[in-house]
Structure 1
Amino acid sequence: MALENSVLSSRPESLSLPVSEKGEGPVGEAEPATPTGVFDVSEELGRVVTTDTAAPPQPTPRSFQSKLAAREAQAATPQPRKKAQGAGSEKGKFGWGRSRRKRQRYVEKNGRCNVQHGNMRETYRYLTDIFTTLVDLNWRCSLFVFVMAYAVTWLFFGAIWYLIAYCRGDLDHLEDETWTPCVNNVNGFISAFLFSIETETTIGYGHRVITDQCPVGTMLLLLQAILGSMVNAFMVGCMFVKISQPNKRAETLVFSRNAVISLRDERLCLMFRVGDLRSSHIVGANMRAKLIKSKQTQEGEFIPLDQTDISVGFETGDDRLFLVSPLVISHEIDSRSPFWDMSQAQLEKDDFEIVVILEGMVEATGMTCQARSSYLAEEVLWGHRFSPMMSLAEGFFDVDYGAFHHTFEVDTPSCSARELSLAAARLEAHLYWSISSRLDEEKWDGPNLTEHLEKQPGSGSANGKGGVGTTFTVGETSESQDQSGQGEQNGSVATDQSESEA
């Protein structure tokens, strides 16, 4: 203890302790004036202790085997891991922990609805609408059904033609020229199968021909021709509708990668961009938006995927688009908006999904088309604006789709739209009352007030009576003020000069 007091008494008043950048190694050394010890600041004990300096140990030579054994032992020993920020989390602008975990989308970016129906008991309903069921199948299943529809009918009728020839004995009289078969040149199943294909497809090579000595074959020929036409119409119609599906037209309708929130005409607006890559336009295009967010009602009911409408100009007609060039769709965040109380800090920790839907009629085919996309909470950029992408060229407007997804930062308040509206209302009220007060002060201040009072017919100096003088109106109520006391004038009191000068 005496040694510690002696060292502390000889320590200078200002002692600088160098600190390493990574926080590892010795804390620092004392100044050269005290070579007997090193001051070590202990964060846990909060006091200064002294340790004697010692000469650094000299490295002892080791063999290769010992170095290898030490390295293996060090690798086998578990090293304490530093607590670092994980790759799956990030810090927002306001310090909120924002998880980068992939949220399960309700609608994918390409418009596919991420919903699967399970435990369905009434699957027979698919067969009642077999045409739509075949159209909704993927291409692999559709091609398989297409091939099997023709192959099965050919094989079925081929087997019947072979059975007729076998029952009539045509196969036993192949070399008999006096025998009249049902179908000429049908000598086996393969020839009967080929005749079935020729009949259904109306090829008619002329080698295998039905004769008039077989009424059963005539009836079968009529039945196969009718059923073959129905199969052709059904399958060709399915393939045509599947090829010309409107959702393929939606592949050329693109949405911006991110949505932005910024000021537009001094109001916070949620905006995203939509464009059409084709020169053929979408007729009667209209835009809709939905907010997908779980909520709990006041009665305690939990709604996992509640859908709230987001107005994009339905009242004003701005939702009906003339989609010739890329457009920025804007949603004004007002008191009816679900984002009325959302600030930038709340956006960083909120969890929701915005589904946008573009509908219209394809100009080339006249079929209705629908394109969909979605934006998660982390895909909404606060304080950004879309870059311009249209320029005027020689005789036309040039659209640069390379800047379709580009945004840039702009000055945007981080408060919610409600707070911004309240602040604007307070500022407007403050300016109104301050201007009114200044006008009243200039009107009633100094000699102007005395001259005005002297000119009043009811003033004491004019008629010698100290009765009623100037009449003041507050709101809609009129009161007579005594002239003996002038009272306090303010911005809310207006002078009623209904009694004009005599």
Structure 2
Amino acid sequence: MTTRPAPAPETGASAPGDLGLSGVFEAESRFLSRDGRFNSRRVGLGLGAYNPYTMLLAMSWPRFFAVALALYLLLNALFAAGYFALGAGALSQQPDQAGPRLLGAFFFSVQTFGTIGFGHVYPVSVAADVLVTLEAFVGLMAVALVTGMLFARFSRPTHRILFSDHAVVAPYRGGRGLMLRLVNGRRGDLTDITAEVVLSLRAPGPLSAGPQRQFHPLTLERSRVTFFPLAWTVVHPIDDRSPLRDLSEAELARREAEVLVVLRAVDEISQQPVQARISYHASEIRWGQAFASMYVRDGGLLAVDARRLHDMHPAPLPEGS
């Protein structure tokens, strides 16, 4: 069974012992991948689980443009097939051969869809006029939808919070501290940054169940910063109250430790919230290392060199710590 951690000092609220995971992750080596995605998926939800709007909003820009182009070509191909099915007399100046006539119908559809209208090809039957009217309506709706989607994608708040490749256990105030470092990778600013760090460990459980996961919220030296113009080293002091107090590097590896990090902030320009996640497996925690300074002078002003985000140097831990 998982334990229920003590109330967090900052909020006084009690965090669920299993973070809402209900113990089903027992066989997994880690919960989050390095890019912050959960190492799980939901299946069997049916077609109702697919929302075209959120899918188009979340996909990458190259994939979005590829989908938009594919839909554009598909719609024009469908209307071209309609013009072709109306016969050679539906449009003016149509060749007799089927292939060139189908190709001409496709490019006539492109002109109609985009309201270009070169004028050398035009409908000459009522059925063709009706199909042109329908295509003009579909084209207006398609342009409006794509424009709205482009606006939504550009206005959606995104972040580029850069995390250090490794967490470190380094000397801290005469003892030790678990540290990770992050920097804002965008030119825009973030405000009201809060960090939440949880330690996941395997612990002995019932013989029938085997080792069980336990989750321990880690108290931070500072869990919130108002402004984030430079870099932030998130520190958990390993003191007498820390779950890491009696754990060594080998013990963390044996218990498959994972440090889960959630960062929440407000984008200063859009005033909308953003969130970033990452995790550090026991193998990604460096003991006896400390982060090197990132601060430089640029044109006489204090600056952070993001290229030094992952730089470390040896820092022997205090004896007996």
Per the normalisation by structure 1, the TM-score is 0.49
Letter in 2 for 1:287: A
The aligned counterpart of 1:113 is: 37
The aligned counterpart of 1:375 is: 280
Letter in 1 for 2:220: V
Distance 1:293 1:228, change over 3 A: farther
Distance 1:349 1:229, change over 3 A: same
Letter in 1 for 2:33: E
The aligned counterpart of 2:14 is: none
Task: Check whether the contact 1:295–1:303 (CA below 8 A) recurs between aligned residues.
Answer: yes
Compute the displacement of 1:334 (Å): 4.5
Matched, 1:198 2:106: no
Residue number among 408, 411, 428 corresponding to 2:314 in the alignment: 408
RMSD: 3.6
- Separation in 2, partners of 1:339, 1:200: 64
The aligned counterpart of 2:227 is: 322
- Separation in 2, partners of 1:278, 1:141: 23
The aligned counterpart of 1:255 is: 163
Task: Check whether the contact 1:261–1:270 (CA below 8 A) recurs between aligned residues.
Answer: yes
Compute the displacement of 1:286 (Å): 2.2
The aligned counterpart of 2:197 is: 289
Compute the displacement of 1:123 (Å): 2.9
Residue number among 119, 123, 134 corresponding to 2:46 in the alignment: 123
Distance 1:345 1:130, change over 3 A: closer
Task: Check whether the contact 1:287–1:359 (CA below 8 A) recurs between aligned residues.
Answer: yes
The aligned counterpart of 1:387 is: 292
Per the normalisation by structure 2, the TM-score is 0.72
Distance 1:299 1:233, change over 3 A: farther
Task: Check whether the contact 1:344–1:414 (CA below 8 A) recurs between aligned residues.
Answer: no
Letter in 2 for 1:371: A
What are the residue-to-residue correspondences of 1:7-22 with 2, within 5 Å?
A: none
The aligned counterpart of 1:309 is: 217
- Separation in 1, partners of 2:308, 2:164: 10
Unaligned runs of 5+ in 2: 1-27, 96-100
Compute the displacement of 1:363 (Å): 4.0
The aligned counterpart of 2:134 is: 223
Residue number among 130, 140, 150 corresponding to 2:72 in the alignment: 150
- Separation in 2, partners of 1:202, 1:393: 52
For residue 158 of structure 1, give the secondary structure of its aligned residue in structure 2. Answer: helix
Unaligned runs of 5+ in 1: 1-102, 172-181, 416-502
- Separation in 2, partners of 1:401, 1:138: 24
- Separation in 1, partners of 2:110, 2:56: 24
- Separation in 2, partners of 1:202, 1:304: 64
Residue number among 82, 85, 99 corresponding to 1:163 in the alignment: 85
Distance 1:144 1:347, change over 3 A: closer
- Separation in 2, partners of 1:137, 1:353: 28
Compute the displacement of 1:203 (Å): 0.8
For residue 117 of structure 1, give the secondary structure of its aligned residue in structure 2. Answer: coil
Distance 1:295 1:133, change over 3 A: farther
Compute the displacement of 1:352 (Å): 0.7
| Higher Cα Rg, which structure | 1
Letter in 2 for 1:397: L
- Separation in 2, partners of 1:401, 1:139: 25
Compute the displacement of 1:353 (Å): 1.2
Task: Check whether the contact 1:246–1:370 (CA below 8 A) recurs between aligned residues.
Answer: no
Q: How many residues align?
A: 288
The aligned counterpart of 2:247 is: 342
Distance 1:185 1:327, change over 3 A: same
Compute the displacement of 1:205 (Å): 0.8
Task: Check whether the contact 2:295–2:302 (CA below 8 A) recurs between aligned residues.
Answer: yes
Letter in 2 for 1:387: A
Distance 1:344 1:303, change over 3 A: closer
Distance 1:331 1:398, change over 3 A: same
- Separation in 2, partners of 1:326, 1:115: 28
- Separation in 2, partners of 1:276, 1:147: 34
Compute the displacement of 1:394 (Å): 6.6
Task: Check whether the contact 1:288–1:319 (CA below 8 A) recurs between aligned residues.
Answer: no
Task: Check whether the contact 1:262–1:412 (CA below 8 A) recurs between aligned residues.
Answer: no
- Separation in 1, partners of 2:314, 2:119: 75
Q: Tell me the alpha carbon deviations over residues 298-349 of structure 1, each in whole angstroms, 9 at most, x when there is no partner.
A: 7975676554432335xxx632352211121111334553223324664465
Compute the displacement of 1:236 (Å): 5.0
Letter in 2 for 1:121: G
Matched, 1:272 2:185: no
- Separation in 1, partners of 2:148, 2:243: 45
Q: Whose helix fraction is larger, Structure 1's or Structure 2's?
A: 1
The aligned counterpart of 1:352 is: 257
Distance 1:143 1:360, change over 3 A: same
Compute the displacement of 1:116 (Å): 4.3
